[in-house]
């Protein structure tokens, strides 16, 4: 039995690279994999690892996350001792302010750690999809008397740029820590999963709060601890996916559809918990064709669905075709509509005979080419696309648009559709 019983989850981030998916919700609250939100994986890892005392640090658009977590029932976190608590910035007597960074968020809530008289705590990120038993890592941390232990995983070196690169020696001691370098020396990266000795962490946090830094775990705290203390790396084997970009979000969802998914959701020994929906089972109609797809309760398929993820209440009408797409909750795809490499946010309505993700033109998105160039078209929450509209690839269609907002019946590839601005070419 380990001595670590408190986990703090960083869930306040803006997630700007997720485009309009995180426009109205924090990244950990983005729907994933048919019935989950991204934070479900971290929360389920906690309870499956026997950790039932969790603080979630929120700042950016916390309402969706707050509704999702509620009192923590689905995770058995509605408890008398421990449980789950959302820690939003607040005003008090002393100097308090919005969280200036991830480290500052923990520092501002340090009383929570003190109250528990915990010698060690877990610090986690709420925006990764992975399955991990934290107990062996905690045991290694305790057995080797570390000040901090960082979970590490391997990614291809060319993809490592967006992460913190960890330099481990033969004894798994961290010799260096480089946050998001332009040319990564290796593909060994930090997963954003840490165990800290609280006294050591507190000393560094206190110092950092006085200085003019980014107050960021990866940028400031970890390098500081590597300089002054004993930091270990712990290798995690198995699937781990950061949901930082639209492409990685899309890929992680479609990973689930492989014949042998790298991350099977179905494991009775390690369930992923989430609030249930009250919908009836998925209903597949007489003329439906469904292949290589995920269907969930409340989804209704009367058309053709291939390599796609249907969230609860997604409806595909007769004659419609949905390929390589992600349809979030309560979306509706009208008769004869065709979707190809499309992400629909919740309650999007696709009129009959509309074509979304159409054509061979791969022009990157004109307003965010760096995030929208792989051919995915994304439609924001509750937007209603009129009957017969054609929308190309790499397009971004904002949330809450109604039929009347669409003045043209065609949006070419790379287009951006927003209210009033109309189509910008």
Q: Is the dihedral of CA 245, 250, 251, 256 positive or negative?
A: positive
**Measured distance CA(311)–CA(289) in Å, rounded:** 17
Partnered with residue 56 across adjacent β-strands are 9, 86
Considering beta carbons, is residue 45 or 293 the nearer one to another protein?
293
Pairing of strands 416-418, 422-424: antiparallel
Give Rg (Cα) of the chain.
Answer: 22
Instruction: Rank residues 99 and 273 by Cβ distance to another protein and give the closer one.
Output: 273
Encoded tokens for 43: 């929360």
CB nearer to another protein: give 227 or 287: 287
Pair 18, 249: CB distance under 8 Å: yes
Q: How far is the CB of 286 from another protein (least distance, A)?
A: 5
Least distance between another protein and beta carbon 287 (Å): 7
Nearer to another protein, 67 or 408 (CB): 67
The SS3 assignment for 228 reads: helix
User: N- to C-terminal Cα distance for the chain?
Assistant: 61
In the complex, the smallest distance separating the C-beta of residue 344 from another protein, rounded to whole angstroms, is 16
Least distance between another protein and beta carbon 340 (Å): 18
Considering the complex, what minimum distance in angstroms separates the CB of residue 239 from another protein?
A: 14
Smaller CB distance to another protein: residue 219 or 304?
Answer: 304
Q: Which is nearer to another protein, 325 or 413 (CB)?
A: 325
Q: Which of 370, 351, 358 is nearest to 412 (CA)?
A: 358
Question: Is 298 exposed, middle or buried, given 0-12, 13-18 or 19+ CB atoms closer than 10 A?
Answer: buried
Given a contact cutoff of 8 angstroms between Cβ atoms, the answer to whether 4 and 138 are in contact is yes
Report how far residue 288's alpha carbon sits from residue 304's, in angstroms, rounded to the nearest whole number: 6
> Measured from the CB atom, is 295 or 356 closer to another protein?
295
Beta-bridge partner residues of 179? 164
Q: How far is the CB of 331 from another protein (least distance, A)?
A: 15
The three-state secondary structure class of 364 is coil
Closer residue to another protein (CB): 34 or 233: 34
DSSP 173: B
Least Cβ distance, residue 380 to another protein (angstroms): 23
Show Cβ contacts of residue 252 under 8 Å, excluding neighbours closer than 6 positions.
32, 33, 129, 241, 243
- Least distance to another protein from the beta carbon of 24, Å? 22
* In the complex, least distance from residue 138 CB atom to another protein, rounded to whole angstroms: 25
For another protein, the closer of residues 92 and 268 by Cβ is 268
Nearest to 143 by CA among 216, 65, 232: 232
The footprint of another protein (CB under 8 A) covers 33-35, 74, 256-257, 259, 264-266, 271-274, 276, 278-298, 300, 309
Output the six-digit token pair for 340.
């190809």
């Amino acid at each position: 039995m380990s001595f670590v019983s408190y986990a703090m989850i960083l869930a306040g981030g803006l997630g700007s690279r997720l485009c309009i998916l995180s426009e109205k919700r924090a990244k950990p609250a983005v729907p994933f994999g048919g019935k989950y939100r991204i934070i479900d994986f971290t929360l389920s890892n906690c309870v499956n690892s026997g950790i039932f005392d969790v603080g979630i640090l929120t700042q950016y658009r916390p309402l969706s996350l707050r509704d999702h977590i509620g009192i923590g029932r689905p995770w058995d976190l509605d408890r008398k001792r421990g449980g789950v608590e959302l820690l939003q910035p607040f005003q008090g007597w002393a100097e308090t302010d919005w969280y200036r960074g991830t480290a500052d968020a923990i520092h501002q809530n340090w009383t929570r750690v003190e109250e528990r008289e915990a010698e060690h705590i877990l610090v986690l990120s709420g925006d990764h999809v992975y399955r991990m038993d934290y107990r062996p890592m905690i045991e290694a941390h305790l057995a080797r008397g570390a000040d901090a232990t960082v979970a590490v995983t391997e990614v291809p070196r060319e993809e490592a740029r967006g992460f913190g690169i960890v330099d481990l020696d033969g004894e798994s001691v961290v010799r260096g820590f480089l946050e998001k370098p332009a040319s990564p020396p290796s593909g060994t990266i930090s997963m954003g999963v840490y165990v800290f000795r609280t006294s050591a962490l507190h000393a560094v946090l206190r110092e950092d709060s006085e200085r003019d830094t980014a107050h960021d775990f990866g940028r400031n705290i970890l390098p500081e601890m590597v300089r002054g203390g004993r930091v270990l790396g712990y290798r995690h084997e198995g699937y781990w996916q950061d949901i930082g970009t639209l492409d990685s979000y899309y890929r992680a969802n479609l990973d689930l559809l492989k014949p042998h998914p790298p991350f099977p959701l179905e494991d009775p020994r390690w369930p992923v918990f989430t609030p249930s929906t009250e919908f009836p089972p998925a209903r597949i109609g007489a003329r439906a064709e469904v292949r290589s797809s995920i269907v969930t309760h409340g989804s209704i398929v009367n058309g053709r669905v291939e390599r796609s993820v249907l969230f609860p209440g997604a409806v595909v009408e007769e004659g419609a075709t949905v390929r390589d797409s992600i349809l979030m909750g309560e979306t509706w795809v009208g008769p004869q509509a065709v979707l190809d490499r499309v992400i629909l946010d919740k309650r999007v309505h696709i009129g009959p005979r509309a074509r979304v993700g159409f054509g061979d033109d791969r022009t990157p998105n004109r307003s965010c080419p760096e995030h929208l160039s792989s051919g995915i078209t994304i439609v924001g929450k509750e937007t209603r696309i009129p009957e017969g509209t054609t929308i190309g690839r790499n397009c971004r269609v904002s949330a809450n648009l109604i039929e009347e907002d669409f003045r043209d019946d065609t949006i070419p590839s790379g287009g951006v559709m927003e209210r009033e601005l109309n189509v910008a070419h």
